[in-house]
Amino acid sequence: MAHKPRKEMIAETRAKLVSAARQAFGTAGYAEASMDDFTAAAGLTRGALYHHFGDKKGLFEAVIAEIDAEMNERLCAVSAKATNRWQGFVDESVAYIEMALEPEIQRIMLRDGPAVLGDPSQWPNANACISSMTRSLTILKEEGRVGDIDPEAAARLVSGASLYAAQWIANADDPAATSKKAVKAFKTLLNGLLAEKG
């Protein structure tokens, strides 16, 4: 009776591994995170890891997919709250900068992720953020709110600027002041996308 169904046990094991790995990757970093260590912290061994995820990179991908989904959800919530679509886009972009200040996101998504898995735009399970940004821009373009630019290109430029800015802010002597400067410059830059000066 005390037996849980099999599927549940397996899902639990996977979740434990992802969680422990996320913790380790987020703090120590991918290269420095020892598989022996964090599997043990989850009460398991590397055997379980190789069984479920193939290798260290496989588990890393799972962690990334999880975080990406969370980020996307948060960003959607932000843009949904805005009064108009352009404002929603701006808010979303700024929120993106702010999320990039979180150490876990910075380390896993922005630093180790690209180094280990390559170009983020090629990640299979993690592009929800970019896609939703692109969608927003597509509509804004149709509405004539923004000029004649490729929405995906703009979305990528914006997210690139954001994450770079975030790194800079996070490591600055005075993050709060730096953040102000960055956000202001960022909004100014975004105005370039508008069809008419706002």
Partner DNA sequence: ATAATTGCATACGCTGCGTATGTCAACTAT
Partner DNA sequence: ATAGTTGACATACGCAGCGTATGCAATTAT
Residues engaged in binding its own copies (CB under 8 A): 30-31, 111-112, 114-116, 118-122, 147, 149-150, 152-154, 156-165, 167-168, 170-171, 178, 181-182, 184-186, 188-194, 197
State in angstroms the smallest separation of the CB of 13 from DNA.
Answer: 3
Interacting positions 93-122 with DNA (CB under 7 A): none
String of DSSP letters for 151-173: HHHHHHHHHHHHHHHHHHHHTSS
Residue linked to tokens 């990757």: 25
User: Residue type at 96?
Assistant: Y
State in angstroms the smallest separation of the CB of 182 from its own copies.
Answer: 5
Which residues fall within 8 angstroms of residue 175, CB to CB, at 6 or more apart? 101, 169
State in angstroms the smallest separation of the CB of 87 from its own copies.
Answer: 16
Residue 40 in contact with residue 75, Cβ under 8 Å?
no
State in angstroms the smallest separation of the CB of 21 from its own copies.
Answer: 17
Query: Which of residues 57 and 180 has its CB atom nearest to DNA in the complex?
Result: 57
Part of the chain binding DNA (CB under 7 A), chosen from 44-52, 71-79, 104-112, 184-192: 44-52
Q: What SS3 state is found at 195?
A: coil
Query: Which of residues 8 and 73 has its CB atom nearest to DNA in the complex?
Result: 8
Distance separating alpha carbons of residues 154 and 140, to the nearest angstrom: 12
Interacting positions 3-42 with DNA (CB under 7 A): 3, 5-7, 9-10, 13-14, 33-37, 39
Could you say whether residue 56 binds DNA (CB under 7 A)? Answer: yes
Residue 22 in contact with residue 63, Cβ under 8 Å?
yes
String of DSSP letters for 90-117: HHHHHHHHHHTTSHHHIIIIIIIHHHHH
State the residues that interact with DNA by CB under 7 A. 3, 5-7, 9-10, 13-14, 33-37, 39, 43-48, 50-52, 55-57
